[in-house]
Amino acid sequence: MEGEQHLQICEDGVLSCESKEFSDNNHDSDAVEESEDTVTSGNQDVSPASGPTLPILQKIIDLSNKIKVLKDEHALVSNHVKEIKNCSFAEPEISRALQLLTTELGTLKKQYLEESSERKRLYNEVIELKGNIRVFCRCRPINLAEVANGCVSVVEFDTTQENELQILSSDSSKKHFKFDHVFKPQDGQETVFAQTKPIVTSVLDGYNVCIFAYGQTGTGKTFTMEGTPENRGVNYRTLEELFHCAESRSRLMKFELSVSMLEVYNEKIMDLLVDNSNHPPKKLEVKQSAEGTQEVPGLVEAQVFNTDEVWDLLKRGYSVRSVGSTAANEQSSRSHCLLRVTVKGENLINGQRTRSHLWLVDLAGSERVGKVEVEGERLKESQFINKSLSALGDVISALASKTSHIPYRNSKLTHMLQNSLGGDCKTLMFVQISPSSSDLGETLCSLNFASRVRGIESGPARKQADVSELLKLKQMAEKLKQEEKETKKLQDTVQSLQLRLAAREHISKGLQDKVRDLEFQLAEERKTRIKQETRAIASASSSTTSRQVREQLPTITEKKPPLAPTRMLRMPLRRITNFMPQQPSQGPIKRFSDATSTKSKENYNNNNSSRRSSSMDMNALMKPRRSSIAYRPAPPPSAVASGNKTLLPRRRVSIATLRPEASSSSSYMNMMTTPSRPSSSIFRGGNPRKARYSKLFSPDHNLVTPNAMKSSRFMKSPLGGGGNSWKPSHPTVVALQKKTVVWSPLKFKNRRSTFLAMRSSSSSTSDVLRKEQ
């Protein structure tokens, strides 16, 4: 069209040039020059000198001038280009610069990666410190049925915004959601597990971990957790990884892994590792342990040693899990399935033990009863599922708003996950969504719920020490406390005993002093008595001839029984202690027994010899040194006349008074009374210690007090009954028998065996006395 116009103008002879100029506008300079020539020739034809210039011609002239200017410019630029074309680059410089730039880019890339991984680490640290529940969002691919129904995807993933997604609402607005990680429909099971791995493996470090999948029915919860034999899910991969890590740490740590599987179906807990086909399922309950953790007593805990065993167990459990077909899902889970992995760890270096749990939970899908078209048993299941999920929602809301009461016990599920949701545990939630526009409402609901879960701050997780070990230590501490108490008690007792001992020692010292005084007095008394006795002997022998006296006197003096043992023979005063010396091995000493008389004699001889060697004998130590004072009345004249001058030494008698009317020796017993106390009180409940003091020494068998007679010891005494055969021959004894003497038992101190010897044989008496002297 434009070409035609130019042609028309060309017919005028002017426009043809113009047309040429336009057409050559983009061509080379030669063409421009040619057109210029034409114009110039045209100008010549219409020169102003030849006539008035037409306006169009004027226009042409102006344009020609412009062309000229442009032509000059063009020539200039062309020269420039030619120059540039001719100019050669300095290649080494450029390549160097390029190299520099490449290196710089590499460094920057590296720095960026380092920074982003550091940022991620810090972010995870913050999350752990705050105790946030991590939330991963996973969107499943749109399925054929949905495409067939004309549904479109409403989920958009912005590549520039990491871990974010947008939901296109029906009103064309976009809703943004951000999570800890967002998995696109094309992300496979490995990608999902790669992000999950760091959390699950912390169970080996002694942390409690809980991972649960939440979302609308048919969104891929079971696919994520269980997976398929070709595409195994988090459960299997986790155990595989745990075995792998345990193996790599086997030099430092020893691990034991055991698995339990249960489901919460219609608010009942069922053990999936127990074959319930033959009998009704065992009823299990959630109980709080002493440590405050939630436990299910009676739950089977199967120890596993390799992944094959794990897979067998998982298959067994999955096969008995309650599943059913709904309009939304062919294989819909009708229960919450919980897999618990218990890890017991022992540090081989420091012996530290840990016991931690890993919960892997596949929740039943939230579903709209109307939409999934359920009825009968399925409807009931749906109601239970929704009820427990709504209880989970309430717990999440309460935790997010930090209210004082968290309604964990409103459902079995929340009760069981109490520690995982609000305790010292690392928790991860998979929020599963469908991309389909038909599920938009549920998707928004799930994402809103997940955002709330992400906001929960439950405090940092902490390592779990092995409770059994803790209990052992507690018991030990308790025992130690008890022992400390006992020790303190014993120390108190020892202290009080020491005090008592000191007091007793003090008393004994006083007593020893007293005894020493008494001994001194006694020695004095003895001296006086010897003088008296010498005088008595002298008067008694006045009737005999002076010659006989002269002959007998040295013998008498020789044969005279000692009034008391010499200082050498006297037993040294013992320190009174609280300890009784041990009895000799031959048994208890029957001091006045007939049967032991011979033995006593032997003992006497032994003792005597040992005394001579100044050694302390145990028997000697055991001999009592107590004695009393007895008043001995003069024997009746008949007795003296008949020559019955029996001297039967009695060691203990009471202070007795003699009734004057008594005539026979046998009636002495009846006449003698102990004024201080009634006789019966000695052995009948009375104080035996006091009773002993009431017994007084009597040299005459007739002078036995009723108390002494009643005493079994004295009744059996050979001195009491069988002394008639013995007749004293010693003049001192004879003289003493004639006199009223106050008998001091101190005189007979330690002389029991002497009397025994006297009784058994009168002939041996003088020997004994001689020996003693």
Ligand X SMILES: Nc1ncnc2c1ncn2[C@@H]1O[C@H](COP(=O)(O)OP(=O)(O)OP(=O)(O)O)[C@@H](O)[C@H]1O
Binding site for ligand X (CB under 6 A): 140-141, 215, 217-223, 329, 331-333, 364-365, 432
Q: Which is nearer to ligand X, 141 or 281 (CB)?
A: 141
489 is an annotated ligand-binding site residue = no
Q: Which residue has the tokens 């109601």?
A: 383
Q: Are 647 and 728 in contact (CB under 8 A)?
A: yes
Q: Which is nearer to ligand X, 322 or 711 (CB)?
A: 322
Return the beta strands (E) in 420-538 as ranges: 425-433
Q: Which is nearer to ligand X, 372 or 537 (CB)?
A: 372
Q: Which is nearer to ligand X, 329 or 754 (CB)?
A: 329
Indicate the residue type of 596: T
288 is an annotated ligand-binding site residue = no
Q: Which is nearer to ligand X, 17 or 389 (CB)?
A: 389
Beta-carbon contacts of residue 139 (< 8 Å; ≥ 6 apart):
155, 165, 182, 183, 184, 185, 432, 433, 434, 435
**CA distance linking residue 143 with residue 145, whole number of Å:** 6
Distance in Å, CB of 389 to ligand X, minimum: 11
Distance in Å, CB of 332 to ligand X, minimum: 3
The C-alpha angle 451, 154, 435, rounded to 5 degrees, equals: 75
Distance in Å, CB of 436 to ligand X, minimum: 11
H or E, element range at 518: helix 467-540
Q: Which is nearer to ligand X, 329 or 694 (CB)?
A: 329
**CA distance linking residue 341 with residue 207, whole number of Å:** 12
Quick one: 32 exposed, middle or buried, by C-beta within 10 A (0-12, 13-18, 19+)?
A: buried
Q: Which is nearer to ligand X, 219 or 235 (CB)?
A: 219
- Pair type for strands 268-271 and 630-632: unpaired
216 is an annotated ligand-binding site residue = yes
Q: Are 442 and 366 in contact (CB under 8 A)?
A: yes
221 is an annotated ligand-binding site residue = yes
Indicate the residue type of 183: F
Q: Are 67 and 75 in contact (CB under 8 A)?
A: no
Distance in Å, CB of 139 to ligand X, minimum: 8
Tokens coding 115: 């920074």
Distance in Å, CB of 304 to ligand X, minimum: 24
Q: Which is nearer to ligand X, 219 or 765 (CB)?
A: 219
Distance in Å, CB of 372 to ligand X, minimum: 9
3-state helix, strand, coil in the chain (%, to 5): 50, 15, 35
Distance in Å, CB of 181 to ligand X, minimum: 14
**CA distance linking residue 713 with residue 440, whole number of Å:** 113
Burial string for 685-701 (b: 16+ CB within 10 Å, else e) reads eeeeeebeebbbbbbbb
Distance in Å, CB of 361 to ligand X, minimum: 12
Q: Which is nearer to ligand X, 218 or 423 (CB)?
A: 218
Q: Are 409 and 121 in contact (CB under 8 A)?
A: no
Distance in Å, CB of 323 to ligand X, minimum: 7
**CA distance linking residue 740 with residue 634, whole number of Å:** 5
H-assigned helices in 672-711: 688-694, 706-710
Burial string for 180-199 (b: 16+ CB within 10 Å, else e) reads bbbbeeebebeebbeebeeb
Q: Which is nearer to ligand X, 217 or 464 (CB)?
A: 217
Q: Which is nearer to ligand X, 21 or 439 (CB)?
A: 439
Backbone φ and ψ of 216, nearest 5° = -65, 155
Distance in Å, CB of 484 to ligand X, minimum: 59
Spatial CA neighbour of 223 closest among 139, 157, 159: 139
DSSP 563-580: SS--TTTSPPPPPP-SSP
H or E, element range at 210: strand 208-215
**CA distance linking residue 482 with residue 748, whole number of Å:** 56
Distance in Å, CB of 449 to ligand X, minimum: 15
Distance in Å, CB of 115 to ligand X, minimum: 31
**CA distance linking residue 689 with residue 685, whole number of Å:** 11
DSSP 35-59: HHHHHHHHHHHT-GGGSPPPHHHHH
- State whether residue 256 is helix, strand or coil: strand
Distance in Å, CB of 443 to ligand X, minimum: 13
Distance in Å, CB of 136 to ligand X, minimum: 13
Q: Are 100 and 146 in contact (CB under 8 A)?
A: no
Q: Which is nearer to ligand X, 52 or 229 (CB)?
A: 229
217 is an annotated ligand-binding site residue = yes
Q: Which is nearer to ligand X, 196 or 222 (CB)?
A: 222
315 is an annotated ligand-binding site residue = no
219 is an annotated ligand-binding site residue = yes
For residue 137, list its beta bridge partners. Answer: 182, 431
Beta-carbon contacts of residue 134 (< 8 Å; ≥ 6 apart):
127, 180, 199, 426, 427, 428, 429, 454
Q: Which is nearer to ligand X, 141 or 636 (CB)?
A: 141
**Numbered residues of the known binding site:** 215-222
**Numbered residues of the known binding site for ATP:** 215-222
